[in-house]
Every structure is written in C-alpha cells, then in structure tokens.
Amino acid sequence: MVVIMFMSVALVALLCVVAYKLAVYALPFMLGVTAAQFAYQTGSGLIGAALVGLVAAGVAFGILALLFDTLRQPVLRLIVALIFAAPAAVAGYALVHGVSREAVPSEIWRQIFCIIGGGFVGVSALIRLAAPVGAQSAR
C-alpha cells in the first residue's frame, strides 16, 4: 500500500510537470474538442468533426499568439494569461483526481490533493504565460 502511495505521488509530480509544459495548449485543446463534439452532434461525421476541431484549436492558439505579440501592457497580458491558465488549472485538478482515485482512500484528502495539484498547475501556467515580454523569447 505504501509503495502505491509513493508511486502515486511520483506520478502526480510527473504529470504536473507535463501539465506545466502543456499549459499553453489547454484552452485551445478544450475549445477544439468542444467544437468537434458540436460538429459531430450536428451531423458532420468523424472527418468533418476532426477538421472543425483542428481549425478551432488552431484559431484559438493563433489568437493567443497574436494577443501576446501585440499586447504590451502588463495588465492586459495578465488578463489574457488568466483566461488561458484557468483551463490548465481545471486540467491539473482532473489529472490529479484521475491518478489519486484508487491510491487515496479518503475523499477529503483526495480533494485536498486535487485542489493543490490544480492550483500548482494553474499558477505555474499563469506565471509562464504572464512573464514579461523579454522573458518569453528566452524559453
């Protein structure tokens, strides 16, 4: 049982690192999936839904890149970063919940771990996205 708990903590840490690296793509991915589901439910078929999802995700990511290239005021960049970091926090919460579902028997502790994991992913995504203009090119 202890080995499973240590493996769970290690896996959560690894997945939080992956979520940190992919936090920029959380909102475009979610919008793409939602657009694909809508297109499929309205009768577009699998290929049409996949194309609609890819286009929607690409447009969302393009808008993110355009906003970060054109906005120079820190407050506006912070607002855009908050909009894009919120889905990353939700994804971090869901990630920790999926990993800890079987390893943590207490529902209260599972929720505490999920909130902490989601908070770490959301804050790290916010810090990564809201970095000053000069620091973005260094990454």
80-124: pLDDT as tens digits:
888 888 888 888 888 888 878 877 788 898 899 889 988 988 888
Angle 107-19-101 (CA atoms, 0-180°, nearest 5)?
A: 20
Lookup: tokens for 39: 């297109």
Q: Say what the pLDDT of residue 134 is.
A: 58
Helices then strands, each counted (H, E), the chain? 6, 0
13-64: pLDDT as tens digits:
787 677 667 777 778 888 899 999 999 999 999 999 999 999 999 998 898 8
Domains contained in the chain, number:
1
Helices assigned H by DSSP within 72-137: 74-100, 107-129, 133-136
Task: State the residue range of the domain holding 129.
Answer: 2-136
